[in-house]
């Protein structure tokens, strides 16, 4: 857990201001955040506090108004559009609240999509897609269209799409927001498995049950980090206490 001295990514005093109709929205105001390799970080906070904005900056969908962002020790806050596209494609895997599978493409093709933007040979793609679908237990549905799947299944395919390219970090924005609790549970279990297998994950959720799956919970409020707690450890501790026969409140 105490990985290398250098974090996988580092945000240094990142600010994000949106200008709309002469109104300034300070979505992020001075965020410091380090995420180490193999870490599982959960971001929590009330609606409108800037969670998605933070995630979009981490995923290079947007750039900070101020501040620095280093990914793998490289400054990435001001790169060209195509450089950013390249990094998104290779270093980042996205999981969205609304799945965002492409309706015209089969499950297989959806998972394959980020790999095709990489110019990978089709044999390599095939293997990766297959492995990724195996990982999420959807290999038998490879030929289906998204519309033929349940929400939970769709989100599992989306997870497969996020990890197929073996990114440095998986970013997930409320991945269970559109799912009932059973399906949500299953997707969360999947995330944990990914984490156990070594993936770095940064996930937005305001469901405290799921937040606690993480190693670390970052609480945002009004664009600021107001608290950090050790989620997974706490859960583990609770678990161990229970096993030892203690009552847990």
Partner 1 sequence: METLLKDLRYAARMLVKHRGFTAIAVLSLALGIGVNTAIFSLVNALLVRPVPVVREQGSVMWLRAPASYPDYLDYREQAQSFDGMAAITGTSEFSLSRSDSEPELVKGEFVSANYFDVLGVGASRGRTFSEDEGRTPAPVVVIGQRLWRTRFNSDQFIVGRQISLNGLGHTVIGVAPENFTGTEIGLDRELWVPLSMQPVLNPPEATGFVGGGEVGRFDERNNHWLAVFARLKPGVAREQAGAELSAIARHVAEANTGRVDAETLRRVQLLRMSGGMDPRDQEEALPIAGIVMAVVALVLLIACANIAGLLVARAAVRRRETAIRQALGASRPRLVRQLLTESVLLGVLGGALGLLLALWVNDILVSYARATPLAALDLSLDYRVLVFTLAVSVATGFIFGLAPALQASRIDIVTALKSEDALGRASSPRSRLRSVFVAAQVTLSVVLLVGAGLFIRSLQNAHAIDPGFRVDNALTVPINLGLLRYKATDGRNFYRELLARVLAQPGVERASLVRFTPLGFSYAQGQVVAEGQAAQSGEEGTSVGFNMVGPGYLGTMGTPLVRGRDFTEADREGAPRVAVVNESLAETLWPGEDPLGKRLSFDRTKGPFLEVVGVARDVKYRSLGEREHPYVYQPVLQSYEPKMTLVVRTAGDPRAIAGAVREQIRALDPNLPVADIRTLGEQFDLSLFPARVAAWTLGGFGLLALVLAAVGIYGVVSYAVAQRTREIGVRMALGARRGDVLRLVMGEGLFVVGLGLAAGLLLALIATRVVAGFLYGVGTTDPLTFVAVPLVLGAIALAASYIPARRATRVDPMVALRYE
Ligand X SMILES: Nc1ncnc2c1ncn2[C@@H]1O[C@H](COP(=O)(O)OP(=O)(O)O)[C@@H](O)[C@H]1O
Binding site for partner 1 (CB under 8 A): 52, 55-56, 59, 61-62, 81-82, 85-86, 88-90, 94, 96-104, 113-114, 117-118, 145-147, 151, 154, 161, 173-174, 177-178
DSSP label at residue 75: E
Report the residue number, 3 or 85, with the smaller CB distance to partner 1. Answer: 85
Return the residues of window 2-21 that contact ligand X according to CB under 6 A: 18, 20
What DSSP line would sit under 169-209, residue for residue?
EEEEESTTTTS-HHHHHHHHHHHHHHHHTT-EEEEE---HH
For 137, left (φ over 0), alpha (ψ -120 to 50), or beta?
left
- Residue 111 or 212: the one with the smaller Cβ distance to partner 1 is 111
Q: Do 214 and 232 touch, CB atoms closer than 8 A? A: yes
Of the residues 9, 14, 52, 205, which one makes contact with Mg ion according to CB under 5 A? 52
Q: How far is the CB of 58 from partner 1 (least distance, A)?
A: 11
Residue reference for tokens 């297959």: 130
Instruction: Kindly state the smallest distance separating residue 193's Cβ from ligand X, in Å.
Output: 26
Binding to ligand X (CB under 6 A) within 35-54 occurs at: 47-53
Q: Of residues 9, 11, 14, 27, which one binds ligand X by CB under 6 A?
A: 27
Place of tokens 């969908």: 61
Q: Which residues of 36-50 are buried (b: 16+ CB within 10 A; e: fewer)?
A: bbbbbbbbbbeeebb
What is the nearest approach in angstroms of Mg ion to the Cβ of residue 123?
A: 38
Three-state secondary-structure class, residue 80: coil
In angstroms, give the least distance from the CB of 206 to ligand X.
8
Point out which residues bind Mg ion (CB under 5 A): 52
């Amino acid at each position: 857990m105490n990985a290398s001295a250098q974090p996988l990514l580092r945000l240094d005093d990142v600010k994000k201001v949106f200008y709309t109709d002469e109104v300034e929205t300070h979505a992020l105001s001075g965020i410091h955040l380090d995420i180490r390799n193999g870490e599982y970080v959960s971001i929590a906070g009330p609606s409108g506090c800037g969670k998605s904005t933070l995630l979009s900056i981490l995923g290079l969908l947007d750039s900070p108004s101020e501040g620095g962002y280093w990914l793998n020790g490289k400054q990435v806050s001001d790169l060209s559009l195509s450089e950013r596209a390249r990094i998104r494609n290779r270093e980042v895997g996205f999981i969205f609240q609304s799945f965002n599978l492409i309706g015209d493409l089969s499950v297989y093709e959806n998972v394959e999509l980020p790999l095709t933007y990489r110019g990978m040979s089709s044999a390599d793609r095939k293997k990766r897609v297959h492995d990724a679908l195996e990982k999420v237990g959807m290999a038998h549905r490879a030929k289906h269209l998204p519309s033929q799947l349940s929400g939970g299944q769709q989100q599992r395919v989306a997870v497969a799409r996020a990890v197929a390219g073996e990114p440095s970090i998986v970013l997930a924005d409320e991945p269970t927001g559109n799912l009932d609790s059973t399906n949500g549970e299953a997707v969360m279990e999947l995330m944990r498995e990914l984490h156990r297998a070594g993936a770095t994950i940064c996930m937005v959720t305001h469901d405290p049950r799921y937040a606690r799956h993480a190693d670390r919970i970052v609480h945002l409020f009004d664009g600021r980090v107001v608290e950090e707690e050790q989620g997974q450890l706490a859960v583990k501790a609770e678990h161990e206490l229970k096993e030892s026969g203690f009552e847990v409140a």
